[in-house]
Structure 1
Amino acid sequence: MLYQIASFLLDVIGGLITGACLLRLYMQLQRVSFSNPVGGLVFALTDWLVMPLRKVITPVGRWDVSSLIGAALVQLVQYVLVLLLLGAAAAWAWLPWMVLFGLARVAVSGLIGLMIVYAVMSWLQTRSPIADVIGRLCEPVLRPIKRFVPLLGGIDLSPLVLLVLLQVAMIVLGHLQASVMR
């Protein structure tokens, strides 16, 4: 029971910080302003990690590599702590794979969360700085799907289609992770 609690707490904290680092990277790639509540939250959660890394790691084009490395480091620490709790000496060889799959899982989960917020906000027709930021983050991902999914009765089903595809991606990630770590 104690392991489950500790593992859960590590997953929540690690997922939150990793997700914020990945969101920082994605917001910079999409050139979304950080002068809004979402940007403020992202900075508050990641500056302590990303800013020192930026002194050593330079961006590659529009890619903020320090945010990506920060996300990977958080996942690494999370899985090291989990392995120490388990006392699983044989599992240390799988640590790079665990970090890679952890990053992918957090990215897909974050996108699922963004899509749910985007869908709810589109139903409520709210005009707020947060709605604009969420829209700017979701539209590039939805654009290819909107080409194939027509409006049905004036309702855009592309977020629903993307949510289904992201759930399938989570299933595939789980199976890939299980097959790699056998």
Structure 2
Amino acid sequence: MIVDTVATILGGALLLRFWMQAIRVRPPASVAQFTFTLTDWLVKPMRRMVPGVGGYDWASLIGALLVVGLATTLYFLIGFTGEMVAVKVLYRFITWMIYGLMALLILEGVFSWVNPHAPLAPFVRALNEPLLRHLRRVVPPLGGVDFSMLVLLILLQIILMLVREIFPPYVLA
């Protein structure tokens, strides 16, 4: 449980770092300091082997995948085969990304209702904007209320259900 918690926090920070740089959002100083301090030890050495291409920080994304992989290799100890572990790593990596996006959407919703002028609100809004921009063309505001976040949250839940259906039962255990 402790290994899984540490891996989730580190993997989440690596995925956040990748997403911030992919959509070119400058984080507030506190978020940047936390994210970069937590992940620099892994990302900086990896950049020597995996350079950024196309404006993407591939070292952060691959680092997150490695963290998931290392945390999941503990399943070797309880009798899974190598193929089973690889499938479990992929499943956990995909679910981490989906849950991360869901958390950002919920956080933006809370900010919009509780304190839209909070220091982190513009940052979270900027992280969600690339995903919501396309949906807002399809789902216009109704009565001045933007339902695009709710629609995206439901779509992500459907994707999560599909992912669970695609992967074999031993991965979900």
Q: What's the TM-score once normalised by structure 1's chain length?
A: 0.86
Pairing 1:175–2:168 present: no
Q: What is the CA deviation profile of residues 42-75 of structure 1, one whole-angstrom value per residue up to 9, with x for unaligned ones? A: 1122111111111222111211111111111101
Provide closer, same or farther for how the CA distance between residues 117 and 63 of structure 1 changes in structure 2, counting only shifts above 3 A: same
Partner SS for 1:59: coil
Per the alignment, residue 74 of structure 1 pairs with 67
| Percent of aligned positions that are identical | 37
Counterpart of 1:78 in structure 2: which amino acid?
A: A
The Cα shift of 1:137 comes to 0.4
Per the alignment, residue 117 of structure 1 pairs with 107
The Cα shift of 1:125 comes to 4.0
Counterpart of 2:35 in structure 1: which amino acid?
A: V
1:85-124 aligned at under 5 Å gives the runs 86=78, 88=79, 90-124=80-114
Alpha-carbon separation, structure 2, partners of 1:154 and 1:124: 18
Counterpart of 2:124 in structure 1: which amino acid?
A: I
Q: Is the 8 A contact 1:59 1:66 kept in 2?
A: yes
Per the alignment, residue 4 of structure 1 pairs with none
Counterpart of 2:129 in structure 1: which amino acid?
A: E
The Cα shift of 1:147 comes to 1.1
Alpha-carbon separation, structure 1, partners of 2:165 and 2:89: 16
Provide closer, same or farther for how the CA distance between residues 35 and 123 of structure 1 changes in structure 2, counting only shifts above 3 A: closer
Q: Is the 8 A contact 2:51 2:59 kept in 1?
A: yes
The more displaced of 110-119 and 27-36 is 27-36
Alpha-carbon separation, structure 2, partners of 1:47 and 1:128: 27
Pairing 1:29–2:22 present: yes
Counterpart of 1:152 in structure 2: which amino acid?
A: L
| RMSD, aligned CA | 1.9
Counterpart of 1:144 in structure 2: which amino acid?
A: H
Counterpart of 2:119 in structure 1: which amino acid?
A: P
Counterpart of 2:68 in structure 1: which amino acid?
A: Q
Pairing 1:18–2:8 present: no
Structure 1 residue runs of 5 or longer lacking an equivalent are 1-7
One of 50, 57, 66 as aligned partner of 1:57: 50
Alpha-carbon separation, structure 2, partners of 1:69 and 1:172: 24
Partner SS for 1:118: helix
Q: Is the 8 A contact 1:36 1:130 kept in 2?
A: no
One of 128, 141, 159 as aligned partner of 2:131: 141
Q: What's the TM-score once normalised by structure 2's chain length?
A: 0.90
Counterpart of 1:110 in structure 2: which amino acid?
A: G
Q: Is the 8 A contact 1:10 1:78 kept in 2?
A: yes
The Cα shift of 1:80 comes to 0.7
Structure 2 residue runs of 5 or longer lacking an equivalent are none
